[in-house]
Each structure stands twice: as C-alpha cells, then as structure tokens.
Chains A and B, each alone.
Chain A
Amino acid sequence: EVQLVESGGGLVQPGGSLRLSCAASGFAFSGYWMSWVRQAPGKGPEWVANIKQDGSEKYYVGSVKGRFTISRDNANDSLYLQMSSLRAEDTAVYYCVRAPPTISSLLGDSWGQGTLVIVSS
C-alpha cells in the first residue's frame, strides 16, 4: 500500500523558516516524480513544486521561487520542502504528492494526509 506521511508543519512567525518532510513507503520512490501541493483553508489546491526522479529537475510556482527549495533523498525514500521568508499567505495544509509515472509529472495519483503550516505573529 502506498503511504506518504508528512511532518514538520507548525506555527511560524512571518519571515521565519520551516522544513517539511515526507516519508514514502509501499512503492519504488526513486522511480517517481514527486510534488508538494498546498491548500489554504476553504480554497482549492495550489501546486507548489515538483522534482524529477533523480533530483536533476525542479520546478516551482512563481509565488515561492527563491524562497522554497524542494529536494529528495532516494536512499531514504524521503521528500523535503525547505521554506524560508514565510508569509501569511503561505498558511495552508501542505501535501506530499506522487505523480503517475506514465501520464504526467504534474498530476497526483497518491496524496499524503498533509501537514498544517500557519504563518502568524
């Protein structure tokens, strides 16, 4: 069974930093594009970033470029999102998402339960 378990969320002050982690299991992690998708309270999802299987390609939504960094550790089946210069508008549940391998790197066929990030003073 595919499992994606996020951790690292919490309350942080504006301008602060946070590192999210995602532990993957039940599938060959190194063979999949992975993404972070966030969802603010009462809003639709927003794709944040994704990373290729070997980490050689990374893409970000414009609003987080230069502030967030996606990375992965295939030896430990883990995905990360380093977030800095956090703003109130970054407040959301952050989901770790697996892309279906033969369809598109921009889709999500498996999602974690999410970790909540609150940016507030």
Chain B
Amino acid sequence: DIVMTQSPDSLAVSLGERATINCKSSQSVLYSSNNKNYLAWYQQKPGQPPKMLIYWASTRESGVPDRFSGSGSGTDFTLTISSLQAEDVAVYYCQEYYIHPPTFGQGTKLELK
C-alpha cells in the first residue's frame, strides 16, 4: 500500500493569511500514460464527513472557492489556502487513488491563530 504522510500535523494561521499543507507519498502517484497525478484533498469539519476539494492534484471540485489550490507532482504535493477564512477551520486530508487500496494521510488540523 502507498503511505501518505502529511505535514505539519497541526497549523495555526491568522485570518486573511496563507495556509500551506504538505503531503508526501511513499511512491509516485503520477501515471505516465496520461500525465495525471492521482492525488486528492479533502476537508473535514467537526461532526461532518469529509468533503472532496481537489482531485488530479490541482483540479478544484465544483463549488470550491478559488482560494483553495493544489500543486505538486510525483510524490510531493501541497494544498494552499491563499487567504484563510473562519469557515476554513477544519482537518485536511490528502488521498492517493493511484492503486488499490486508496490511502489517506493522517490529517492536518488547521486552526485560527
């Protein structure tokens, strides 16, 4: 199985500031035949299920604000929130869907400073 490791485990950011979360996979999730990275990001607020934000490493799901962006390729990926809003406080998970079984990172808890 692919191991997904996120950093940091927790992060405190002021309103309006940038938040950056990293995710590293134990093997490449870039599929050479289509040049796509099989990497997604989810947001989970307390008491709620995860919500998919980004797939193909950088494609925003419909309705996701453009302050959320994803980048990276191969084994190293980043989720950036350009200007933190209060409603962005949540736990964020990366997930690879390159091979069975798909695996998730351990999560990064984003809080307000």
Contacts and interface: CB of A to CB of B under 8 A. Distances in A.
Interface of A: 43-47, 59-62, 95, 100, 103-104, 106-109, 111-114
Top 3 nearest A-B pairs (CB, nearest first) are A111-B49, A106-B97, A106-B102
User: Size band of the B side of the interface?
Assistant: 20 to 34
Interface of B: 1, 38, 40, 42, 48-52, 55-56, 61, 93, 95, 97, 100-107
20 contacts: A45-B42, A46-B103, A47-B101, A47-B104, A59-B100, A59-B101, A61-B101, A62-B101, A104-B55, A104-B97, A106-B97, A106-B100, A106-B102, A107-B40, A108-B42, A108-B50, A109-B52, A111-B49, A113-B49, A114-B49
Given A44-B105, A47-B101, A107-B40, 13 more contacts: A44-B93, A44-B107, A61-B101, A62-B1, A62-B101, A95-B50, A100-B52, A104-B55, A106-B97, A107-B55, A107-B97, A111-B49, A111-B50
